[in-house]
Amino acid sequence: MCNSKFGSIPNKLSIKQHLELALVGFTFIRYMKPEGYSSAVPVYLVRCSQHGRYLEKPSGYTGYFVCTSCLEETQILRSRKNVMPHLS
- Give residue limits of the domains in the chain: 2-83
Q: What is the pLDDT of residue 35?
A: 85
Q: What is the pLDDT of residue 17?
A: 97
Mean pLDDT confidence for 9-23: 95
Does the model's pTM come out above 0.75?
yes
What pLDDT, in 10s, does the model give residues 22-75?
A: 999 999 999 999 888 899 999 999 999 999 999 999 998 999 999 988 988 888
Q: Which residues does residue 17 pair with via DSSP β-bridges, in sequence order?
A: none
**Spatial CB neighbours of 11, under 8 Å, sequence gap ≥ 6:** none
- Tell me the longest C-alpha to C-alpha distance in the chain: 54
Q: What is the pLDDT of residue 76?
A: 82
Q: What is the pLDDT of residue 77?
A: 77
